[in-house]
């Protein structure tokens, strides 16, 4: 008999993956963590039954939450990652020799422990010498930071449970204060395909626009995320993601990436008309 994993994206839509084995299941202090070995997408981690990461398409999300900001900031030295327990975001960051210090604040130690055991290719940088890993609440972490980080990457879950506080005005204000004078913030901003997700995305974008002089939205195709189509906010105090983009500067790093490239960087900010209209109108 076939075993299938299904995630409901709406009351009328599900995504299903055929499962070979159920490798891990436990309840942390914050959420239920499972690992399934799927036939098509390799190992899959779920949090409270929702997709967090798969081996097959993880590179899309991790490329796109890291490299656009790194391509724009002229000299980032200190970077903060909030969330990101699978380790993929810091894996991409440590590839930049100019970064001197990375703080990673993940509330749930079990997520990191499980990633180390079942997702070694993703979690490989969790023990890197530049990565300082703290099992703490990212909201509380930001309360006393001032002029401290060049880039902040909010690699959060959806705004329920442990991730709820990472979408508030107070939290974004604290992030703004924690950034240096030319700092950049990037956060995942849900999908425009389904209204219940995009309500969160629009709200987040409106809040950031009230604080940052530059806020743009960019996109990526992630098959196992709701709608298969995901957005990110790029919020900056000084540097514009297109006007200040120099492809040759990023190319000099010589990084081999599976999804991001300098042509895609420019295209990622070219949103479909219906998405632009929704952001302009502020409604789904």
Annotation says 155 is catalytic: yes
CA 155, CA 57: separation in Å to the nearest integer?
16
Closest CA to 124 of 187, 41, 62: 62
The conformational region for residue 48 under phi > 0 = left, psi -120 to 50 = alpha, else beta, is left
Q: Which residues of 125-163 are buried (b: 16+ CB within 10 A; e: fewer)?
A: bbebeebebeeebbbebbeebeebbbbbbbbbbbbeebb
Burial of 200 (0-12, 13-18, 19+ CB in 10 A): middle
Strand ranges inside 78-202, DSSP E: 78-83, 101-105, 131-134, 149-155, 179-188
- Residues 183, 84, 265: CA angle, nearest 5 degrees: 55
Helix H or strand E encompassing 8: strand 3-10
Rg (the chain; Cα; Å): 18
d(CA 117, CA 266): 36
- Burial (Cβ within 10 Å: 0-12, 13-18, ≥19) of residue 175: buried
C-alpha dihedral sign at 128, 130, 135, 139: negative
Helix spans in 137-194 (H): 138-141, 169-178
Catalytic residue among 34, 108, 150, 155: 155
Q: Please give the positions annotated as active site.
A: 155
């Amino acid at each position: 008999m076939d075993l299938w994993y299904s995630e409901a994206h709406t009351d009328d839509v599900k995504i299903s993956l055929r499962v070979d084995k159920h490798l891990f299941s436990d309840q942390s202090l914050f959420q239920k963590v499972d690992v399934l070995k799927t036939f098509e997408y390799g190992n899959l981690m779920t949090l409270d039954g929702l997709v967090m990461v798969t081996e097959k398409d993880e590179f899309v999300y991790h490329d796109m939450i890291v490299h656009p900001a790194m391509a724009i900031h002229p000299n980032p030295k200190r970077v903060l990652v909030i969330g990101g327990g699978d380790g993929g975001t810091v894996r991409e960051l440590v590839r930049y020799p100019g970064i001197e210090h990375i703080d990673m604040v993940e509330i749930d130690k079990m997520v990191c422990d499980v990633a180390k055991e079942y997702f070694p290719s993703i979690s490989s940088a969790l023990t890197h010498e530049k990565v300082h890993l703290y099992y703490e609440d990212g909201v509380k972490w930001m309360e006393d930071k001032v002029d401290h980080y060049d880039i902040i990457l909010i690699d959060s879950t959806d705004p329920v449970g442990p991730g709820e506080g990472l979408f508030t005005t107070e939290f974004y204000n604290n992030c703004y204060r924690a950034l240096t004078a030319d700092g950049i913030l990037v956060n995942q901003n849900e999908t425009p395909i389904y209204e219940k997700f995009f309500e969160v995305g629009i709200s987040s974008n409106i809040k950031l626009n009230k604080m940052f002089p530059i806020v743009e939205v960019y996109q990526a195709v992630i098959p196992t995320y709701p709608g298969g189509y995901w957005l990110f906010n790029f919020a900056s105090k000084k540097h514009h993601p297109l006007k200040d983009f120099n492809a040759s500067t990023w190319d000099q790093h010589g990084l081999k990436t599976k999804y991001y490239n300098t042509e895609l960087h420019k295209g990622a900010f070219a949103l479909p008309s219906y998405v632009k209209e929704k952001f302009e109108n502020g409604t789904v």
